[in-house]
Amino acid sequence: MNKSISVAVIGASGYTGLELLKILINHPVFTITYVATSEGGVMLDTLHPALKDVLTCHVEKADISQIAACCDLVFLALPHQASMGFVKALLPLGIKVVDLSADYRLERETYEQYYCPHEDAKHLDYAVYGLPELYRDTIKTASLVANPGCYPTAVILGLVPFLPFIDEQFPLFIDAKSGVSGAGKTCSPTTHFIGINENIFAYKVLSHRHEPEIKEKLRLQSGITFDVNFVPHLIPATRGELIDAYMLLKQEIDPIDVLKAYYKDEPFVRIFDAPVNIKSCAGTNFCDVYAQRKGNKLYVNSSVDNILRGSSSQAVANANLMMGLDEALALPTIAYVP
Amino acid sequence: MNKSISVAVIGASGYTGLELLKILINHPVFTITYVATSEGGVMLDTLHPALKDVLTCHVEKADISQIAACCDLVFLALPHQASMGFVKALLPLGIKVVDLSADYRLERETYEQYYCPHEDAKHLDYAVYGLPELYRDTIKTASLVANPGCYPTAVILGLVPFLPFIDEQFPLFIDAKSGVSGAGKTCSPTTHFIGINENIFAYKVLSHRHEPEIKEKLRLQSGITFDVNFVPHLIPATRGELIDAYMLLKQEIDPIDVLKAYYKDEPFVRIFDAPVNIKSCAGTNFCDVYAQRKGNKLYVNSSVDNILRGSSSQAVANANLMMGLDEALALPTIAYVP
Amino acid sequence: MNKSISVAVIGASGYTGLELLKILINHPVFTITYVATSEGGVMLDTLHPALKDVLTCHVEKADISQIAACCDLVFLALPHQASMGFVKALLPLGIKVVDLSADYRLERETYEQYYCPHEDAKHLDYAVYGLPELYRDTIKTASLVANPGCYPTAVILGLVPFLPFIDEQFPLFIDAKSGVSGAGKTCSPTTHFIGINENIFAYKVLSHRHEPEIKEKLRLQSGITFDVNFVPHLIPATRGELIDAYMLLKQEIDPIDVLKAYYKDEPFVRIFDAPVNIKSCAGTNFCDVYAQRKGNKLYVNSSVDNILRGSSSQAVANANLMMGLDEALALPTIAYVP
Amino acid sequence: MNKSISVAVIGASGYTGLELLKILINHPVFTITYVATSEGGVMLDTLHPALKDVLTCHVEKADISQIAACCDLVFLALPHQASMGFVKALLPLGIKVVDLSADYRLERETYEQYYCPHEDAKHLDYAVYGLPELYRDTIKTASLVANPGCYPTAVILGLVPFLPFIDEQFPLFIDAKSGVSGAGKTCSPTTHFIGINENIFAYKVLSHRHEPEIKEKLRLQSGITFDVNFVPHLIPATRGELIDAYMLLKQEIDPIDVLKAYYKDEPFVRIFDAPVNIKSCAGTNFCDVYAQRKGNKLYVNSSVDNILRGSSSQAVANANLMMGLDEALALPTIAYVP
């Protein structure tokens, strides 16, 4: 097996672009042949000094024909709406795409309600939602994979084993906590050290765009339109995401048994017998899950690294599958602890 | 007005003892005449170097007869069960007590189920729950005040205005987040910097002792036994506590209007038009509250400084009321921001 | 004593402006009669939500004639160069000024070398350097006080007792560490949470503008031009500043004895027998100092709250002196610990 | 190349033991055949939950004959003094040892002055100091390597290129800053979150045991006994170590040129043109170095991950060399940023 597949990272300046590069550097089959940002014209270790002497390359201004000339697969680590333009141009050229933005994650109507008009309805129909535990087989044959949002990844992996047992007459309440990398590299009062250090607060209460994504995917799995209520928080940590979900059951179950049975063959979901934390999976592709029942109430508690399992390492898992490789290739499993 | 009332702080080594001293130093009427720990025999600025040149005094080994000889009112900042012994001895001597432990907060049966056998049932009947917004008039004539738990303070102040509107057929889910000072000064893997920094996790899921405290007080206010489900988390911050509560309504309300009407004359509850955070009230006696409705779902979001409003400054408020003083005397209102 | 002296805070949006307001709210003599920023047109608790229900006032666009109409003394919490314009206009109107910027701290030649051309040379000659321990008597009669820089405050208070003993043939090396509030409220990659959390780095190595300020003041005290070498660092903390200074001695001394003798009557300098930390004085006007000798090497270790003793509380101390009041009025002495 | 060399990790419960395991899991030649602590009797993922489903093995109570039966090389991640006992027993059995403690780092006289009586003088003479940039060739043939202290690693790598140019008539002042993992896993007021969060302080001022280690190694390199003055600090970060060293030069040099020339063939030392930070090398085996000259003053600034380059990854580098492998095998080069 040699490094025979050429890949591009478009959007290399942000955190998810950096994480993609960090994984791909050691990938046994993928070779990074093109790295771009919207502006280009800079050396990579100027953007990311930590990569000095590790990966030396020029960052280009993203150009379709250059990409087409040198890549088999492209990772788009771009803002929503920006991605569409690239997908529209790349797919007809036979290049496979893993899109880390929201552009191909949702049904058109939902997308347009929460984001903006969709300019590539044609490919939207072909996009596969890149959550391997649910869509592995379809991903293998896809040419366009929509990489899930960070919160939906952790929420859906936590909830999906319980879908047959949840009482849909009652709302689901999902209280989520994310490290600051989830807010991106943009400097703002929210991401200013003084704003979030020694602090915690909810934001976009019951109006975050990941709420409809969660709702849609749970419906597609179960046929049931659950009443999903989602409240995310920012916490004073760099990476990691914790989910606490509250709901009612329509029958008695042992939640740990349900989890262990559902995920018994899955290498990247770990079931814990005690509440999970973000540090034990930060730096990895794992989703850690715990659950507890009290009478007819169910508490589900899951955790991911928001920019790995919640973005870049999951994107590489999808790319592995799309290229006929072992899903686990190069995926990080060793946490950053301590 | 001179510093004519003598007070003692028993349990001066912990965080709540320190916070009591910090408030009392500048109190215009109370004089600190006695400071004790379980061991004594040390100078105060050895225990708390930050008090060097600010409050110089010897820390005694707590002794009932010494306390009785020099104090009008005693603050007990002791672990539960330790408090009872002092209360039993001090009350008959005519000394008023604000007890920061859990010993006199609950009805006997509930207390014994969650803590230990109660050895002072006699005074338990006389104890007043020290949440001024609910029990101000009774506190004024009390000789024993049970200072509320930190989580119950923030939860109850957030929920109590909505009690007439909450649908009691459905559970309440309360997701709480506390700074590390809530875990106390004891060194453990949980409070080790490496254990909690860059981390967050739930603990005592659906089994924390503050759950029955919340349930009992809500019942006493409303006559209704709500199904309270409480999940606390530890966050990588020093002080502050954030509450996110989820429930169903049985009628349409404007939650901000409800809050503003309920608290219109209360100086230490602030109603915000956006989600609250812990930093804006850390260092103060305020409880900050926000709420939002979506259909029949109600989201309530409150915040306190866990060792001030959630403990020591509320204790001083109670002491002020018990001694016939203005409740607001010496209570901190200026947050530690930035 | 009533609140009979009217003061203005110009530059209320930044951290030092906020700290000024926090102190002045409880000042027994000063009344805040005017609060301004460069833009105005906003309520104060919009700028600083933590002040909600604590200080409610309109923030003006700074205007000389309005200030003159309602103030006895003005605090200028403005960037350097902006301050000059106000000082030039206010002093001739008989209004006293405490300037928190660098504009009047340095001799003209030094100022112009490190900052910009000086446009108010006239008043520069009258400005007094507002370090009370060194210039208390002069401050009392000054109409313009230049509030010292944060680093110079901590460095000078640490070093000045040792000036007679330091070997001026050798350089002084000063390694300083500051919390992020020292970098101001401006959002930048440096102040982004991800940039500084779990990080530490030196900046402006041997070229920070506080280096000439330290050098000039040490020379004015001793007549000796020391070779001052200053390297500041940013640390992942909100407030506080730690100084570690290294130098040679020309005679044997007991450094703790020297410190205790020098500061025996100073209420806001505390001498410790062990290394100081930033937490014990954060929130106060104290400067904490420790020193240790090894042969002919001297190590001096001092700490201040960079936005209080290093800025706003020292500014209030100066204002107190200028108005004939007790220097200590309203100055914070109780640290934010825990 | 198969995983043909068997290695043991003795002392698996601490941070450096964990880091060893994290590196060895993916080592292409070394196989972990024995994992032990002083107590044993536990599963590894109970000690380190982050390793769940990654490395499943039983942790033994360390036993010499068991080690001898299954290992070619042993990593001792034990406290000083404990290591000697194992070394004494293992070396005669032909087992190679990388000792992460201080037991074999120093000349006997120095060791006994700063630590305790040495009980294995015989092997002390054969031990090689495991800093590959200085002792690579000797390490290759060593059977016992003393892995350097974390501070000495960063200090020596920063200073050694300048040894010919430093004025030995003048002291060297070294101001160091370490993340909390350097203080180990033991719970204490110092490592309590409240003790170090939002704080920084010096400790063991001019008396840390790494001072003589630095001094001895600089002397062995240069023949000069420098006057080394070392002041370490604890900072509120998990991992990473920053060194700021101050000294005088006896001739004019361009420090960046000196560094680049000295380290031109070294893969694990990176020379930066601006001050280094701890985040860019945290998670890696790199030592990052910067230096700046001002007249005859030299400032040297270096950074390592204290538990990787400062301990465990350097230990693996040494083991690679001792076993005739490529030094770089399995050493981490990709930082944990963001």
pLDDT tens string A153-175: 999 999 999 999 999 999 999 99
Compute the nearest-CA separation of A312 from chain C (Å): 18
Q: Do B248 and B317 fall within a single domain?
A: no
Residues from C contacting B (CB-CB < 8 Å) are: 15, 18, 22, 25-26, 48-54, 181, 198, 238-239, 267, 270, 272, 279-281, 283, 286, 307, 333-338
| Tokens linked to A185 | 């590299």
Look up residue A209 and give its DSSP letter.
T
Selection from B238, B18, B50, D203 nearest residue C286 by Cα: B50
Asked, for residue A129, whether it belongs to a domain, the answer is yes
Pairing, β B58-61 against β B30-37: parallel
Residue with tokens 């660098």: C102
Residue C128 to residue C132: CA distance in whole angstroms: 10
Residue D205 to residue D211: CA distance in whole angstroms: 10
pLDDT at B2: 73
For residue C213, count CB atoms less than 10 angstroms from its CB and return exposed for 0-12, middle for 13-18, buried for 19 or more. Answer: buried
Instruction: For chain B, state the CA radius of gyration.
Output: 19
A299 and B206 within 8 Å at the Cβ level: the answer is: yes
| Alpha-carbon distances, residue B244 vs A241, A290, D295 (angstroms) | 17, 20, 59
Asked, for residue B186, whether it belongs to a domain, the answer is yes
CATH number of the domain where residue B273 is located: 3.30.360.10
**Furthest-apart CA pair in chain A: how many Å?**
60
Asked, for residue D94, whether it belongs to a domain, the answer is yes
Selection from D93, B210, A136, B204 nearest residue B218 by Cα: B210
What values do phi and psi take at C61, rounded to 5?
-80, 125
The one-letter code for the residue type at A295 is G
Selection from D34, D24, D20 nearest residue D3 by Cα: D24
The pLDDT of D19-33, averaged and rounded, is 97
Give the number of other Cβ atoms within 10 Å of residue C167's Cβ.
Answer: 14
Query: Tens digit of pLDDT per residue, chain C (338 long)?
Result: 578 999 999 999 999 999 999 999 999 999 999 999 999 999 999 999 999 999 999 999 999 999 999 999 999 999 999 999 999 999 999 999 999 999 999 999 999 999 999 999 999 999 999 999 999 999 999 999 999 999 999 999 999 999 999 999 999 999 999 999 999 999 999 999 999 999 999 999 999 999 999 999 999 999 999 999 999 999 999 999 999 999 999 999 999 999 999 999 999 999 999 999 999 999 999 999 999 999 999 999 999 999 999 999 999 999 999 999 999 999 999 999 99
Residue B124 to residue B103: CA distance in whole angstroms: 8
First-to-last alpha carbon distance for chain A, in angstroms, is 34
For residue D252, count CB atoms less than 10 angstroms from its CB and return exposed for 0-12, middle for 13-18, buried for 19 or more. Answer: exposed
Which chain A residues are within 8 Å of D50, Cβ to Cβ? 279-281, 334-335, 337
| Helix (H) / strand (E) containing C167 | none
| Helix (H) / strand (E) containing B232 | strand B228-234
First-to-last alpha carbon distance for chain D, in angstroms, is 34
HEC sequence for C118-183: CCCHHHHCCCEECCHHHHHHHHHCCCEEECCCHHHHHHHHHHHHHCCCECCCCCEEEEEEECHHHH
C171 and D248 within 8 Å at the Cβ level: the answer is: yes
**Dihedral sign from CA coordinates of A255, A257, A262, A263:** positive
Q: Do B162 and B292 fall within a single domain?
A: yes
Asked, for residue D330, whether it belongs to a domain, the answer is no
B334 and C267 within 8 Å at the Cβ level: the answer is: no
Q: Is the pLDDT of residue A109 over 90?
A: yes
Q: Is the pLDDT of residue A206 over 90?
A: yes
Give the number of other Cβ atoms within 10 Å of residue C68's Cβ.
Answer: 17
The shortest CB-CB distance from B294 to any of A206, A233, A278 is to A206
Q: Is the pLDDT of residue B1 over 60?
A: no
Residue D96 to residue D82: CA distance in whole angstroms: 17
Which chain C residues are within 8 Å of D304, Cβ to Cβ? none
Give the mutation candidate from D19, D192, D198, D239 for the B interface (greatest B CB count, under 10 A). Answer: D192
Q: Do D132 and D264 fall within a single domain?
A: no
First-to-last alpha carbon distance for chain C, in angstroms, is 34
For residue D166, count CB atoms less than 10 angstroms from its CB and return exposed for 0-12, middle for 13-18, buried for 19 or more. Answer: buried
Residue C244 to residue B163: CA distance in whole angstroms: 57
Q: Do D205 and D143 fall within a single domain?
A: no
Asked, for residue B330, whether it belongs to a domain, the answer is no
Q: Is the pLDDT of residue D1 over 90?
A: no
Report whether the peptide linkage leading into residue B338 is cis, meaning its omega lies within 30 degrees of zero: yes
Selection from B207, B202, B106, B221 nearest residue B157 by Cα: B221
ipTM above 0.95, yes or no: yes
Residue B275 to residue B282: CA distance in whole angstroms: 15
Q: Do B285 and B300 fall within a single domain?
A: yes
B199 and A292 within 8 Å at the Cβ level: the answer is: no
Asked, for residue C215, whether it belongs to a domain, the answer is yes
pLDDT at C1: 53
Query: Interface partners of B (3+ CB pairs, < 8 Å)?
Result: A, C, D
Q: Do B53 and B115 fall within a single domain?
A: yes
Q: Which residues of A are catalytic?
A: 150
Sequence-ordered strand ranges (E) for B5-161: 5-10, 30-37, 42-43, 58-61, 73-76, 96-99, 128-129, 144-146
Residue C70 to residue C9: CA distance in whole angstroms: 12
Instruction: For chain D, state the CA radius of gyration.
Output: 19
C&D contacts, CB < 8 Å:
128
Selection from A284, A271, A275, A280 nearest residue A310 by Cα: A284
Residue C219 to residue C221: CA distance in whole angstroms: 5
The shortest CB-CB distance from C337 to any of B18, B53, B334 is to B18
D299 and C238 within 8 Å at the Cβ level: the answer is: no
Closest chain C residue to B333, measured at CA: C54
Q: Do B51 and B166 fall within a single domain?
A: no
The shortest CB-CB distance from C192 to any of A192, A198, A236 is to A192
Report whether the peptide linkage leading into residue A92 is cis, meaning its omega lies within 30 degrees of zero: no
Selection from D245, D226, D241, D220 nearest residue D309 by Cα: D241
B&C contacts, CB < 8 Å:
62
Q: Are D291 and D158 in contact, with CB atoms under 8 Å apart? A: yes
pLDDT at C189: 94
| Alpha-carbon distances, residue C114 vs C105, C118, C150, D119 (angstroms) | 12, 11, 17, 60
Which chain C residues are within 8 Å of D198, Cβ to Cβ? 179, 237-240, 278-279, 282
Q: Is the pLDDT of residue A2 over 80?
A: no
Q: Do D158 and D295 fall within a single domain?
A: yes
Give the number of other Cβ atoms within 10 Å of residue A113's Cβ.
Answer: 12
C246 and D229 within 8 Å at the Cβ level: the answer is: yes
Q: Do B94 and B131 fall within a single domain?
A: yes
C200 and D242 within 8 Å at the Cβ level: the answer is: yes
Give the mutation candidate from A16, A47, A194, A199 for the C interface (greatest C CB count, under 10 A). Answer: A194
Residue B132 to residue B128: CA distance in whole angstroms: 10
Which chain A residues are within 8 Å of C238, Cβ to Cβ? 193-194, 197-198
pLDDT at B93: 97
Q: Do A188 and A292 fall within a single domain?
A: yes
Which chain D residues are within 8 Å of A286, Cβ to Cβ? 53
Compute the nearest-CA separation of A30 from chain B (Å): 32
D338 and A15 within 8 Å at the Cβ level: the answer is: yes
Residue B67 to residue A98: CA distance in whole angstroms: 72
List the domain range (segments joined by +) for residue A203.
151-304
A52 and D337 within 8 Å at the Cβ level: the answer is: no
The one-letter code for the residue type at D180 is V
| Tokens linked to D63 | 């036993």
Compute the nearest-CA separation of A32 from chain C (Å): 26
- Identify the bridge partners of residue C177 per DSSP, sorted by sequence position: C233, C242
Residues from C contacting D (CB-CB < 8 Å) are: 170-171, 173, 175, 177, 179, 194, 197-203, 205-206, 227, 229, 231, 233, 235-240, 242, 244, 246, 248, 275-279, 282, 292, 294, 297, 299, 301, 338
Which chain B residues are within 8 Å of C239, Cβ to Cβ? 338
pLDDT at A3: 81
Domain count, chain C: 2
CATH number of the domain where residue D30 is located: 3.40.50.720
| Tokens linked to B261 | 């009407």
pLDDT tens string D64-94: 999 999 999 999 999 999 999 999 999 999 9
C-alpha triplet B187, B189, B191: angle, nearest 5°: 55
D173 and C246 within 8 Å at the Cβ level: the answer is: yes
Closest chain C residue to B185, measured at CA: C338
Residue C121 to residue B202: CA distance in whole angstroms: 61
| Tokens linked to D147 | 């892995």
Q: Is the pLDDT of residue B186 over 80?
A: yes
Instruction: For chain A, state the CA radius of gyration.
Output: 19
D237 and C198 within 8 Å at the Cβ level: the answer is: yes
Which chain C residues are within 8 Å of D243, Cβ to Cβ? none
Q: Is the pLDDT of residue A1 over 60?
A: no
Which chain A residues are within 8 Å of B235, Cβ to Cβ? 200, 235-236
| Tokens linked to D87 | 């070394």
Q: Which residues of D are catalytic?
A: 150
C53 and B286 within 8 Å at the Cβ level: the answer is: yes
B278 and A198 within 8 Å at the Cβ level: the answer is: yes
The shortest CB-CB distance from B187 to any of D180, D187, D238 is to D187
Selection from C189, C309, C306 nearest residue D200 by Cα: C306
| Tokens linked to C26 | 């409880």
Query: Interface partners of D (3+ CB pairs, < 8 Å)?
Result: A, B, C
Asked, for residue D327, whether it belongs to a domain, the answer is no
C-alpha triplet A225, A231, A232: angle, nearest 5°: 125
Q: Are D295 and D277 in contact, with CB atoms under 8 Å apart? A: no
Residue C34 to residue C26: CA distance in whole angstroms: 16
Residue with tokens 């009628």: B251
Q: Do D143 and D155 fall within a single domain?
A: no
pLDDT over 70 for what percent of chain D?
A: 100
Give the number of other Cβ atoms within 10 Å of residue C4's Cβ.
Answer: 11
A279 and B198 within 8 Å at the Cβ level: the answer is: yes
Asked, for residue C112, whether it belongs to a domain, the answer is yes
From C70, C71, C116, C150, active-site residue? C150
pLDDT at B271: 98
Look up residue B238 and give its DSSP letter.
S
Q: Are B313 and B320 in contact, with CB atoms under 8 Å apart? A: no
C-alpha triplet B144, B149, B153: angle, nearest 5°: 105
Closest chain A residue to D237, measured at CA: A338
The pLDDT of A280-302, averaged and rounded, is 98
Q: In what order do the strands lie in the sheet with A5-10?
A: A42-43, A58-61, A30-37, A5-10, A73-76, A96-99, A144-146, A128-129
Q: How many CA atoms lie within 13 A of D220 on its CB side?
A: 15
pLDDT tens string A226-283: 999 999 999 999 999 999 999 999 999 999 999 999 999 999 999 999 999 999 999 9
Q: Do A89 and A204 fall within a single domain?
A: no
C187 and A187 within 8 Å at the Cβ level: the answer is: yes
Residues from A contacting C (CB-CB < 8 Å) are: 15, 180-181, 185, 187-189, 191-198, 236, 238
Which chain C residues are within 8 Å of B18, Cβ to Cβ? 337-338
Residue B19 to residue C103: CA distance in whole angstroms: 40
Report whether the peptide linkage leading into residue A338 is cis, meaning its omega lies within 30 degrees of zero: yes
What values do phi and psi take at C177, rounded to 5?
-130, 130
Closest chain B residue to A204, measured at CA: B275
DSSP of B288-325: EEEEEEETTEEEEEEEE-TTTTTTHHHHHHHHHHHTTS
